[in-house]
A = this chain, B = another copy of it.
Amino acid sequence: MVADGGSLSADTPSRAARGEAVTLPQAGSEGVAARVPRSIPEASVARLAVYLRMLGELAEQGADTVSSEELAAATGVNSAKLRKDLSYIGSYGIRGVGYSVSALVHQLERALGLNHRQAVALIGVGNLGHALAGYGGFGGRGFPVTALFDVDPDLVGIHINGILVEHVRAIGDTCRERGITIGMIATPGPAAQGICDMLVEAGVRCILNFAPVVLQVPDEVEVRKVDLAVELQILAFHVARKRLVAESPETEASLAVPATDVDVVPPPDAQTNGHPVNSTLNGGMR
């Protein structure tokens, strides 16, 4: 995940990984159509989306079937893990053969809820927002960006990709009208919580947050965060780690964290390196 990223990725660990999250109370009657497992682990859901993309590519290349081994290699996971992930959505493989690409695509789309179209609203049409709005990839895959909002008078009123940019004060009405189910927040950090509140108030229950703040939301709202600065910091950690390994040929200073203060950059606070160089940390988006 590191993804997370979680954060603009990757792996971004979601606070909703508690019990309640993906788990559903299991069926009532019993016996009959006990077709589907009770729940899908959060970690698996993230990977299912990746498999789906790769399957799309394979289909394009004319593949009829894939083995778990092949698909696993292409997506960089262990094949047993892949099979287990797929088993959560049902048994759609053929033993001795593999998976039918088209059938699996269909099942994954169903499992991920992609057979309902999701209308997406994007708030904050600055630098990053523009890039997101012009993305194209969304609409093609069932995520049409259906509404755009900003506060900047220079932006409100213009069209991007044929979509009118409205003032954020219209969020409530517009989202309800157009049945928005997902909100993407690409505003500067300080504005994000307010926008988030408006979205929640308008009934939006899933939010993708690009602003560098942790949003506070009611339990029933799902937030995923994409945070560039965090991603880079995670990589920086790995750079430092690799450096350490390289420098200590064997044992010696083999610590996970260098207790030494290397201080290429002046430590506590100095001229421009303290931290808030501009308070626009990485929310400098837009």
> When the two chains form their complex, are residues B59 and A276 in contact, meaning their CB atoms are under 8 A apart?
yes
A56 to B137, Cβ gap below 8 A?
Answer: no
Chain A, 104-140, CB within 8 A of any chain B CB = 105-106, 109-118, 120, 127-128, 130-132, 134-140
Pairwise interchain contact B2-A110, C-beta atoms closer than 8 A = no
Complex interface: chain B residues within 8 A of A53 (CB): 212, 229-230, 281
Contact of A60 among B60, B252, B279 (CB under 8 A): B279
Contact present for A226 and B10 (CB under 8 Å): yes
Q: Does A164 contact B (CB under 8 A)?
A: no
A256 at the binding interface (Cβ < 8 Å): yes
Residue-wise interface mask of A (226-238) relative to B, using a CB-CB cutoff of 8 A (1 in contact, 0 not): 1111111111111
B226 touches A268 (CB 8 A): no
Fill in one digit per residue for A250-275: 1 if any B CB lies within 8 Å of its CB, else 0: 11111111110111110111001101
Q: Is the CB of A236 within 8 A of B1?
A: no
> Within A1-47, which residues are at the interface with B (CB < 8 Å)?
1-17, 22-29, 33, 35-40, 42-43, 45-47
Query: Is A222 among interface residues, defined by CB-CB distance under 8 A?
Result: yes
Q: Is the CB of B214 within 8 A of A75?
A: yes
* Interface residues of A, count at CB 8 A: 148
Q: What residues of chain B lie closer than 8 Å to A143, measured between beta carbons? A: 229, 232, 236
Complex-state Cα separation, A105 to B106, whole angstroms: 48
Contact of A1 among B10, B59, B110, B120 (CB under 8 A): B10
Interface residues of A in 206-228 (CB under 8 A from B): 206-208, 210, 212, 214, 216, 220, 222, 224-228
Contact among B15, B56, B222, B238 with A76 in the assembled complex (CB-CB below 8 Å): B15
CB of A283 within 8 Å of the partner chain: yes
Pick the contact of A256: B37, B120, B142, B229 (CB < 8 A).
Answer: B37
**Option from B42, B139, B281 in Cβ contact (under 8 Å) with A141:** B281
Are B7 and A241 interface neighbours, CB within 8 A?
A: no
List 14 A-B residue pairs with CB atoms under 8 Å apart, sorted by A's residue number. A2-B3, A2-B14, A2-B42, A3-B3, A5-B14, A6-B6, A7-B49, A9-B226, A10-B226, A26-B254, A27-B253, A50-B230, A138-B229, A142-B236
